[in-house]
């Protein structure tokens, strides 16, 4: 888990792939919030298309590469939870704070990845590292 969290934290803008309500692939820039209680947390706005897409099909894959040409692929099921402590933790990110102002903002929602799996790889020729989170 620590290696996955470190990779996501060091490469703060990831790309979240979903299946849209139209049945077509969608890929959006996203930001990892943090790990808490063994869960990888993310946040969004319940008025956005991504939220509606995740309500219909909650399975996602996230990917990002590092400046050193390593990359991660992380997948799982997005599970939304009304968790005020997590929302308050997300407010430590100035971008999130500027968009939502408070953790109690009714459009602000958080989710974690259930049954998450990650692969970290690079061009070294070494086998990829696999994680079940």
Taking a C-beta distance cutoff of 8 angstroms, is the pair 79, 59 a contact?
Answer: no
* 109: nearest Cα among 54, 29, 62: 54
| pLDDT, the chain, mean | 97
Instruction: Please spell the DSSP secondary structure of 58-92, one letter per residue.
Output: -EEEEEEE-TTS-EEEEEEEEEEE--HHHHHHHTT
- Whole-structure pTM value: 0.95
Question: For the residues 11-29, what does the mean pLDDT come to?
Answer: 97
Question: For the residues 89-101, what does the mean pLDDT come to?
Answer: 97
pLDDT at 72: 98
Phi, psi at 103, each rounded to 5°: -65, -20
Question: For the residues 9-16, what does the mean pLDDT come to?
Answer: 97
pLDDT at 42: 98
User: How many other CB atoms are there within 10 angstroms of residue 54's CB atom?
Assistant: 23
């Amino acid at each position: 888990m620590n290696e996955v969290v470190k990779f996501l934290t060091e490469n703060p803008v990831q790309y979240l792939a979903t299946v849209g309500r139209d049945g077509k692939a969608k890929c959006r820039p996203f930001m990892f919030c943090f790990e808490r209680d063994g869960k990888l947390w993310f946040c969004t706005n319940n008025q956005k298309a991504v939220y509606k897409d995740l309500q219909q099909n909650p399975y996602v894959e996230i990917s990002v590469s590092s400046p050193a040409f390593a990359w991660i692929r992380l997948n799982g099921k997005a599970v939304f939870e009304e968790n005020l402590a997590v929302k308050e933790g997300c407010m430590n990110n100035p971008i999130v704070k500027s968009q939502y102002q408070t953790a109690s903002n009714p459009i602000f929602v958080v989710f974690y990845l259930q049954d998450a799996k990650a692969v970290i790889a690079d061009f070294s020729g070494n086998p990829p590292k696999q994680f079940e989170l």
